[in-house]
Amino acid sequence: MNRKSTPDIAAPAQPGRECPLCPRLVEFRLKYRASDPEWHNAPVPSFGPVDARLLIVGLAPGLKGANLTGRPFTGDYAGDLLYATLADFGWTRGTYGAHADDGFELNDCRITNAVRCVPPQNRPVGAEINTCRPFLIDEIAAMSQLRIILALGSIAHNSVIRTLGHKQSAYKFGHAAAHDLPDGPLLVDSYHCSRYNTNTGRLTTEMFHDVFRLIRERLD
Q: For 62-98, how does the pLDDT look when each residue is reduced to its tens digit (9 = 90+)? A: 999 999 999 999 999 999 999 999 999 999 999 999 9
Asked, for residue 147, whether it belongs to a domain, the answer is yes
Q: Tell me what percent of the residues of the chain surpass a pLDDT of 90.
A: 92
Asked if pLDDT for residue 56 goes beyond 90, the answer is yes
Q: Mean pLDDT of all residues in the chain?
A: 95
Alpha carbons within 13 A on the beta-carbon side of 181: 25
Per-residue confidence (pLDDT) for residue 220, from 0 to 100 = 85
DSSP string, 162-210: HHTT--GGGS---TT-EEE-TTS-EEEEE----HHHHHTTSS-HHHHHH
Asked, for residue 8, whether it belongs to a domain, the answer is no
Asked if pLDDT for residue 211 goes beyond 80, the answer is yes
Q: Tell me what percent of the residues of the chain surpass a pLDDT of 70.
A: 95
Per-residue confidence (pLDDT) for residue 183, from 0 to 100 = 85
Asked if pLDDT for residue 184 goes beyond 60, the answer is yes
Degrees, nearest 5: CA angle 213-205-194: 115
Per-residue confidence (pLDDT) for residue 98, from 0 to 100 = 95
- The one-character DSSP state at 120 is G
Specify the number of domains making up the chain.
Answer: 1
Instruction: State which residues form the domain around 119.
Output: 23-219
Mean pLDDT of 191-213: 97
Per-residue confidence (pLDDT) for residue 121, from 0 to 100 = 93
User: Rounded to the nearest 10 degrees, how much is the dihedral formed by the CA atoms of 45, 137, 194, 216?
Assistant: -100
Asked, for residue 153, whether it belongs to a domain, the answer is yes
Asked if pLDDT for residue 1 goes beyond 70, the answer is no
> Model pTM?
0.94
Per-residue confidence (pLDDT) for residue 114, from 0 to 100 = 98
Q: For 124-147, how does the pLDDT look when each residue is reduced to its tens digit (9 = 90+)? A: 999 999 999 999 999 999 999 999
Asked if pLDDT for residue 5 goes beyond 60, the answer is no
Asked if pLDDT for residue 30 goes beyond 60, the answer is yes
CATH code of the domain containing 78 = 3.40.470.10
Per-residue confidence (pLDDT) for residue 2, from 0 to 100 = 57
CB 66 within 8 A of CB 74: yes
Q: How far apart are CA 99 and CA 75, in angstroms?
A: 6
Mean pLDDT of 31-43: 98
Per-residue confidence (pLDDT) for residue 55, from 0 to 100 = 98
